[in-house]
């Protein structure tokens, strides 16, 4: 299928699965992310008290951080330039310090404006089946020809 580490459009079939990628967003990782992001701490992402003020069960993982974890599933698979769009729906708060299982399923392939487009469902779940985030990714892959 691959001889140079690159996946090609011709290698892909509907129903193919991507991942799983398992990640944990630790307390320290979220603080580091907020600091880099320019979101002053403490905030609802890092502090029990601030989270309670926002009626959250505890500090949650920032949405953009969760999206970056989901994007990694795709860029690890397709390469750094392949991801064209990631559109997600946040269904439950994403907790700190718990395994986050990220998976993808290819549900469409097409050629569009000269590009080889692959569309994937992407999902972030917990180990007990909690669906934290659902969405779709649009990926452009090179052709063998």
Q: Which residues bind other proteins (CB under 8 A)?
A: 14-15, 87, 89, 91, 105, 107-108, 119, 121, 123, 128-131, 134-136
Instruction: Give the nearer residue to other proteins in terms of CB position, either 26 or 107.
Output: 107
Closest contact distance (angstroms) between CB of 131 and other proteins is 7
Instruction: Give the nearer residue to other proteins in terms of CB position, either 46 or 66.
Output: 66
Closest contact distance (angstroms) between CB of 106 and other proteins is 8
Closest contact distance (angstroms) between CB of 31 and other proteins is 29
Q: How far apart are CA 58 and CA 47, in angstroms?
A: 8
For residues 62-81, one letter each, b for 16 or more C-beta atoms within 10 angstroms of the residue's C-beta and e for the rest, the string is beebbbebbbebbeebbbee
Closest contact distance (angstroms) between CB of 108 and other proteins is 6
Closest contact distance (angstroms) between CB of 135 and other proteins is 6
List the structure tokens of 17.
């699965």
3-state helix, strand, coil in the chain (%, to 5): 25, 35, 40
Instruction: Give the nearer residue to other proteins in terms of CB position, either 35 or 107.
Output: 107
Residues 6+ apart with CB under 8 A from 128: none
Q: How far apart are CA 53 and CA 64, in angstroms?
A: 21
Q: What is the DSSP string of 79-97?
A: -TT-EEEEEEEE-SPPBSS
Instruction: Give the nearer residue to other proteins in terms of CB position, either 68 or 119.
Output: 119
Instruction: Give the nearer residue to other proteins in terms of CB position, either 73 or 123.
Output: 123
């Amino acid at each position: 299928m691959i001889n140079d580490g690159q996946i090609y459009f011709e290698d892909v079939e509907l129903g193919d699965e991507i991942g799983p990628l398992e990640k944990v967003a630790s307390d320290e990782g979220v603080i580091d992310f907020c600091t880099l992001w320019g979101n002053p701490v403490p905030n609802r992402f890092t502090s029990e008290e601030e989270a309670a003020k926002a009626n959250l069960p505890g500090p949650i993982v920032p949405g953009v951080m969760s999206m970056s974890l989901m994007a990694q599933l795709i860029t690890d698979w397709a390469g750094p330039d392949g991801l064209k769009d990631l559109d997600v729906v946040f269904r439950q708060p994403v907790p700190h310090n718990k395994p986050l299982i990220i998976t993808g399923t290819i549900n469409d392939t097409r050629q569009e404006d000269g590009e080889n487009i692959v569309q994937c469902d992407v999902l972030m779940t917990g180990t007990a089946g909690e669906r934290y985030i659902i969405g779709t990714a649009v990926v452009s892959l090179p052709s063998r020809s």
